[in-house]
């Protein structure tokens, strides 16, 4: 290897090392988005849990479990967990609609919220490069598929 090639190789390595945090930041941003959606869904179920406690109680608990797992993955990529939302105004559209739905519309909005979560994870899975994080997201996807199944049956 001549000196020029060596220097070029070193420069390429330096670029790769600089690119690594950028990749982690993208993954972190994605994880942060998933965390916000899970914590928002948990809050929405909490607002409606009295209407169908047998369905929304476990669903709220699982959304909180998912958010906790995502917070662990956020810490693994060097990011903290933000403050959770306090009011339905701070939620995404599907969670907000579930949180504020009238009794007659609660089940339909719960189905829509779970469909939205399933679509979200199906879109996120190809964009998570870390194997462990991707597998965590995959099991959460499976959980949302199960909740969607029982909500559709009950609707």
Which residues contact residue 98 at a Cβ distance below 8 angstroms, ignoring those fewer than 6 apart? 41, 44, 45, 47, 48, 106, 109, 110, 112, 113
Tally Cβ neighbours within 10 Å of residue 139.
Answer: 11
Q: Contact between 30 and other proteins (CB under 8 A)?
A: no
Looking at 28-36, 75-83, 85-93, 144-152, which segment touches other proteins (CB under 8 A)? 144-152
Q: What is the DSSP letter of 56?
A: H
Radius of gyration of the chain (CA): 20
Minimum distance from CB of 144 to other proteins (Å)?
A: 8
Return the residue of 1, 15, 22, 104 that touches other proteins, per CB under 8 A.
1
> Which residues 68-87 are close enough to bind other proteins by CB under 8 A?
69
Three-state SS annotation for 119-153: HHHHHHHHHCCCHHHHHHHHHHHHHHHHHHHHHHH
Minimum distance from CB of 70 to other proteins (Å)?
A: 12
Minimum distance from CB of 53 to other proteins (Å)?
A: 14
Return the residue of 44, 66, 106, 112 that touches other proteins, per CB under 8 A.
66
Site size with other proteins, rule: CB under 8 A: 38
- Indicate the helix (H) or strand (E) that contains 71: helix 53-76
Q: Contact between 118 and other proteins (CB under 8 A)?
A: yes
**What does the binding site for other proteins look like in residue numbers (CB under 8 A)?**
1, 3, 6, 9-10, 13, 17, 58, 61-62, 65-66, 69, 118, 121-122, 125-126, 129, 131-132, 134-143, 145-150, 153
């Amino acid at each position: 290897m001549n000196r020029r090639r060596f220097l070029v190789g070193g420069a390429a390595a330096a670029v790769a090392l600089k690119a690594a945090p950028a990749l982690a930041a993208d993954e972190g941003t994605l994880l942060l988005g998933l965390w916000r959606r899970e914590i928002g869904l948990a809050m929405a179920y909490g607002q409606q849990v009295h209407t169908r406690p047998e369905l929304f109680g476990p669903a709220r608990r699982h959304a909180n479990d998912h958010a906790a797992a995502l917070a662990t993955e956020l810490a693994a990529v060097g990011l903290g967990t933000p403050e959770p939302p306090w009011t339905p105004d701070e939620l995404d559209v599907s969670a907000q609609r579930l949180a504020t739905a009238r009794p007659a519309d609660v089940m339909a909005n719960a189905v829509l919220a779970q469909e939205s979560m399933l679509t979200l994870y199906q879109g996120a899975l190809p964009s998570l490069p870390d194997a462990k994080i991707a597998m965590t997201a995959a099991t959460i996807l499976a959980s949302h598929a199960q909740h969607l199944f029982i909500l559709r049956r009950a609707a």
